């Protein structure tokens, strides 16, 4: 009996061991809890790291597309002369880009759209009465001095289109401040005055600066007012700017900081004396503020790359703009405010750089 019991135990014992082994579950590796990308392998490499399909060519042509409503409105308001200035500026900018890249022995960069965009932006900052020859000179200067002299796209310190306009402002001050009203302008609604003999050609900012006449907000918003080709319709500019923000081709902090600082600081002065200072809404919709805030201050090359830096950059530009408009000798200061902050961008990047992980403070 004992031998039989031993044989039975020996037969049952292996089955129990096998069952116990099946019930014992292996321990989970804690590294399994770490994030594992689904369908995308991890790639080790040096910076910069880009996980999108965006590139320079796509971004530049998207900005050109965003400026299409403004371009169309300028042609509607100012006729064939606007189309002539825009075309000559773009052609001169692209031809200058082609010639200089050939001289430098570099490959052609016309397909990336940067020269096209520079010529378009420059034309949109010019008065409708400006000459075609002066436009060509400004476009050549913008590309040659504002861009290529620094090494080409990505190396320039200042916005090339604004630098070209600054050159034209210094070279042709009278022509750059001679304005004509759109052909469909309602002067009474535009100025709010009954006598318009001495007001023909003035911009809303010029009217307020020198004549203390405040224009209505409605024509400023929809357009059909005096000014540069690209600043006549705030609605068209806002539509293009919204497109850039949706496509994430512009940092939203810059237009928000720029427009917000102008609105707040201009509103403070307006509350102190509503007769001496314009309303903050007038500040926003008049002049080239919206054009500069969405399409020039957001230039990826000449604007800061850190979140804190973009706030400093945009708010600083807004403060400078309000000071020039209210206390300077010129009625407008968008160009100077952006160019001044462009010059400070390297310092802003340096002192707002986030601390690296594991980096010890000096």
Residue 160 and residue 165: Cα distance in Å, rounded? 9
Q: Cα–Cα distance between 196 and 80 in angstroms, integer?
A: 25
**Taking Cα atoms as reference points, which of 187, 229, 218 lies closest to residue 285?**
218
pLDDT in tens, 135-145: 999 999 999 99
Percent of the chain with pLDDT strictly greater than 70: 78
**pLDDT on residue 196:** 43
In 3-state terms the chain splits into helix, strand, coil percentages (rounded to 5) of 60, 0, 40
The whole-chain average pLDDT of the chain stands at: 83
Q: For residues 289 and 205, what is the distance between their CA atoms, to the nearest angstrom?
A: 11
| Predicted local distance difference test score (pLDDT) of residue 194 | 44
Nearest alpha carbon to residue 314 among 271, 354, 348, 280: 348
Inform me whether the pLDDT recorded for 151 exceeds 80: yes
Please state, in angstroms and rounded to a whole number, the distance separating the CA atoms of residues 215 and 178: 19
Strands (E), 90-248: none
- Give residue 215's Cα distance to chain centre: 27
Confidence at residue 341, expressed as pLDDT on a 0 to 100 scale: 96
Q: Is the pLDDT of residue 355 over 80?
A: no
pLDDT at 197 over 60: no
What is the pLDDT, as a whole number, of residue 33?
Answer: 59
pTM greater than 0.85 (yes/no): no
The closest alpha carbon to 277, from 230, 212, 227, belongs to 212
Q: Is the pLDDT of residue 75 over 50?
A: yes
Q: Which of 87-96, 238-247, 324-333 has the lowest mean pLDDT?
A: 324-333
Tokens of 15: 């089955």
CA 168 distance to own-chain centroid: 22
The residue that leads in pLDDT, 257 or 44, is: 257
Angle at 135 between CA 131 and CA 140, to 5 degrees: 150
Query: pLDDT at residue 323 above 90?
Result: yes
Q: Which range has highest mean pLDDT (23-27, 122-126, 199-203)?
A: 122-126
The domain limits of the chain are: 56-177, 187-194+203-351
Q: Report, as an integer, the average pLDDT of 349-360.
A: 76
Answer whether residue 11 shows pLDDT above 60.
no
Q: What does the pLDDT read at residue 289? A: 94
H-helix or E-strand spanning residue 60: helix 56-66
pLDDT for 35 beyond 60: no
Q: Is the dihedral of CA 72, 76, 77, 83 positive or negative?
A: positive
Does pLDDT of 131 surpass 50?
A: yes
State residue 237's pLDDT score. Answer: 94
Give mean pLDDT, residues 19-32. 59
Assess whether pLDDT exceeds 50 at residue 193.
no
Cβ-contact 192, 215 below 8 angstroms: yes
Residue 217, SS3 per DSSP: helix
198-233: per-residue pLDDT in tens? 345 578 888 888 888 888 888 888 877 888 898 888
* CA distances in angstroms from 250 to 79, 162, 259, listed in the order given: 30, 18, 15
Return d(Cα 291, Cα 312) in angstroms, integer. Answer: 19
**Residue 57: per-residue pLDDT:** 87
Instruction: Please give the residue that has the higher pLDDT: either 166 or 201.
Output: 166
């Amino acid at each position: 009996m004992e031998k039989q019991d031993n044989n039975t135990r020996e037969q049952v014992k292996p089955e129990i061991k096998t069952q116990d082994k099946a019930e014992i579950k292996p321990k989970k590796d804690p590294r399994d809890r770490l994030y594992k990308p689904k369908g995308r392998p991890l790639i080790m490499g040096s910076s910069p790291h880009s996980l999108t399909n965006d590139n320079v060519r796509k971004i530049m042509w998207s900005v050109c597309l965003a400026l299409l409503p403004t371009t169309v409105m300028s042609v509607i308001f100012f006729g064939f002369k606007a189309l002539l200035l825009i075309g000559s500026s773009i052609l001169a900018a692209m031809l200058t880009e082609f010639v200089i890249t050939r001289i430098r022995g570099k490959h052609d960069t016309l397909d990336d759209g940067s020269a096209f965009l520079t010529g378009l932006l420059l034309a949109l900052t010019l008065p409708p009465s400006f000459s075609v020859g002066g436009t060509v000179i400004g476009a050549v200067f913008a590309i040659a001095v504002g861009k290529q002299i620094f090494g080409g796209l990505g190396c320039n310190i200042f916005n090339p289109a604004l630098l070209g306009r600054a050159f034209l402002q210094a070279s042709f001050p009278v022509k750059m401040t001679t304005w004509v009203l759109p052909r469909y302008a309602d002067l009474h609604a535009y100025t709010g005055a009954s006598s318009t003999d001495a007001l023909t050609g003035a911009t809303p900012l010029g009217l307020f600066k020198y004549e203390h006449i405040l224009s209505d907000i409605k024509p400023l918003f929809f357009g059909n007012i005096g000014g540069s080709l690209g600043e006549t319709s705030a609605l068209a500019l806002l539509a293009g700017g919204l497109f850039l923000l949706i496509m994430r081709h512009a940092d939203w902090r810059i237009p928000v900081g720029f427009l917000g600082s102008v609105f707040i600081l201009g509103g403070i002065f307006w509350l102190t004396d509503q007769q001496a200072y314009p309303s903050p809404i007038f500040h926003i919709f008049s002049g080239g503020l919206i054009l500069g805030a969405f399409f020039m201050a957001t230039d990826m090359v000449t604007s800061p790359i850190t979140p804190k830096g973009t706030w400093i950059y945009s708010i600083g530009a807004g403060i400078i703009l309000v000071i020039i408009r209210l206390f300077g000798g010129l009625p407008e200061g968008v160009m100077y405010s952006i160019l001044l902050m462009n010059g400070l961008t390297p310092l802003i990047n340096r002192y707002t750089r986030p601390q690296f992980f594991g980096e010890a403070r000096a």
